[in-house]
């Protein structure tokens, strides 16, 4: 994940959103848990159905790949009337884990885990994508696919390069026919040749829609060999390999239209609070950074199951 401020977070470990949210609680929550744990605290029987609902909510809220990665401790009374506590441990297949304290009412309908959550709300935090321009953009997959993944990315971003192959596999193989990917340019200010690359790829698309993806693949594969001084030369060479009209491509790059489309993509990203690349919206469900493959699978399969259930009604 690459931020507009050029701060880069490591991709290893648990999902970044989960770690950040849990880290907020560690200091304050641990202190509260310490005061709440006393000889007078008593274990309360939990309800398996409510626990399953809570686990489902947390899995969606923090984009956790598998429910088996979430474990609850016993529920206990706290000195505060009507407030109960229990530990929540999230681990992954690399042996990493984090444990925090969750505070809730007895029926687990409201909870505090670094912040207050209404467990009856949409755990996905789905974003309304209606204001975003999605027509006439680089696209993979059929237009009527039940899954639409909108990606905001930067051709100079190393995490976007890692994501590119995985996204292509999802659209062209794993969920072929069920998923549509729409690419939105979001060049970061600190990347000196990213905007030029975005404009070139857009102009290539206008000549041949598939050429956009060829250019994207080229930029991501050769990031280390491209710089502001040679980016136009690299664009010309790739255009020649793809049998594009290089004169028309250059003319397109020099007109305002292609740059304005990139600007429109950036404005759309700002409207839905994109602050780092890559950022994905799967049917409006935000995924920031490069999620592990099983996180993509979890979100996509959940949406496919919901689509199938709705179609069967």
Within 8 A by CB and 6+ apart from 175, the residues are 147, 300, 304
Length of the chain: 313
**37 pLDDT band (50/70/90 cuts)?**
very low
Residues 186-196 have a mean pLDDT of 95
Local confidence band at 294 (pLDDT 50, 70, 90 cut-offs): confident
Cα 287 from Cα 269, distance rounded (Å):
13
Chain segment 151-180, per-residue pLDDT in tens: 999 999 999 999 999 999 999 999 999 999
Q: In the prediction, which pLDDT does 31 show?
A: 39
pLDDT, residue 259, reads 92
Q: Tens digit of pLDDT for each residue in 112-121?
A: 887 777 888 8
Q: Looking at the predicted structure, is the pLDDT value of residue 8 above 90? A: no
| 22 — pLDDT class (breaks 50, 70, 90) | very low
pLDDT at 3: 55
Q: Which CATH superfamily is domain 139-312 in?
A: Glutaredoxin (3.40.30.10)
- Is the Cβ–Cβ distance between 219 and 155 less than 8 Å? yes
pLDDT above 80 (res 32): no
Which pLDDT score, from 0 to 100, does residue 41 have?
52
Confidence (pLDDT) at 1? 64
State pLDDT tens for residues 273-290.
999 999 999 999 999 988
In this prediction, residue 5 carries a pLDDT of 36
Residue 77's alpha-carbon distances to 85, 166, 224, 256, in angstroms, are 6, 46, 57, 64
The pLDDT of residue 291 is 77
Segment 234-267, tens digit of pLDDT:
999 999 999 999 999 999 999 999 899 999 999 9
Residue 118's SS3 state is: strand
Helix axes 209-221 and 158-169, enclosed angle (nearest 10): 130
Residue 20: pLDDT over 60: no
Q: Does residue 52 carry a pLDDT above 60?
A: yes
Listed as own residue / partner, the contacts of 124-129 with beta carbons closer than 8 Å and 24 or more positions apart are 124/60, 124/61, 124/284, 124/285, 125/61, 125/285, 125/286, 126/283, 126/284, 126/285, 127/272, 127/273, 127/281, 127/284, 127/285, 127/286, 128/284, 129/272, 129/281, 129/284
Question: CA–CA separation, 147 vs 284, rounded Å?
Answer: 10
Domain ranges for the chain: 2-118, 139-312
Mean pLDDT computed over 5-26 = 38
Report, as an integer, the average pLDDT of 73-84: 91
Q: Which helix (H) or strand (E) holds 117?
A: strand 116-118
Q: Residue 37 burial by CB count (10 A; 0-12/13-18/19+): exposed, middle or buried? A: middle
Determine how β-strand 110-112 pairs with β-strand 179-185. unpaired
Look at residue 293 in the predicted model and tell me its pLDDT: 73
SS3 184: strand
Q: What is the pLDDT of residues 207-231, one digit of tens each?
A: 999 999 999 999 999 999 999 999 9
Higher pLDDT among residues 30 and 88, named by residue: 88
Contact 50, 15 (CB under 8 A): no
pLDDT of res. 124: 95
Mean pLDDT score of the chain, rounded to an integer? Answer: 86
């Amino acid at each position: 994940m690459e931020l507009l401020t050029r701060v880069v977070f490591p991709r290893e470990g648990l999902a970044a959103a989960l770690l950040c949210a849990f880290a907020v609680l560690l200091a304050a929550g641990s202190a509260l848990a310490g005061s709440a744990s006393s000889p007078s605290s008593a274990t309360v029987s939990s309800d398996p159905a409510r626990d399953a609902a809570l686990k489902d909510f947390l899995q969606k809220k923090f984009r956790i790949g598998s429910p088996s990665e979430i474990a609850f401790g016993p529920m206990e009374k706290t000195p505060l009337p009507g407030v109960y506590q229990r530990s929540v441990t999230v681990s992954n297949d690399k042996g990493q884990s984090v444990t925090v304290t969750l505070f809730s009412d007895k029926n687990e309908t409201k909870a505090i885990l670094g912040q207050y959550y209404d467990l009856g709300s949409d755990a996905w935090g789905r974003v309304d994508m209606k204001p975003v321009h999605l027509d006439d953009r680089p696209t993979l997959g059929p237009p009527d696919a039940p899954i639409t993944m909108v990606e905001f990315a930067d051709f100079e971003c190393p995490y976007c390069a890692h994501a590119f192959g995985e996204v292509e596999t999802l659209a062209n193989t794993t969920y072929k026919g069920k998923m549509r990917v729409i690419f939105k340019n979001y060049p970061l200010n600190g990347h000196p040749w990213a905007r030029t690359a975005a404009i070139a790829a857009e102009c290539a698309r206008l000549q041949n829609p598939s050429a956009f993806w060829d250019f994207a693949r080229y930029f991501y594969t050769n990031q280390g060999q491209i710089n502001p001084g040679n980016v136009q030369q690299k664009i010309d060479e790739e255009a020649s390999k793809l049998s594009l009209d290089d004169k028309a491509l250059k003319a397109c790059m020099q007109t305002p239209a292609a740059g304005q489309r990139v600007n429109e993509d950036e404005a759309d990203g700002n409207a839905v609070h994109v602050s780092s690349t890559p950022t994905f919206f799967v049917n409006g469900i935000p995924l920031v950074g490069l999620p592990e493959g099983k996180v993509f699978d979890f979100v996509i399969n959940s949406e496919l199951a919901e689509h199938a259930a709705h179609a069967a009604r």
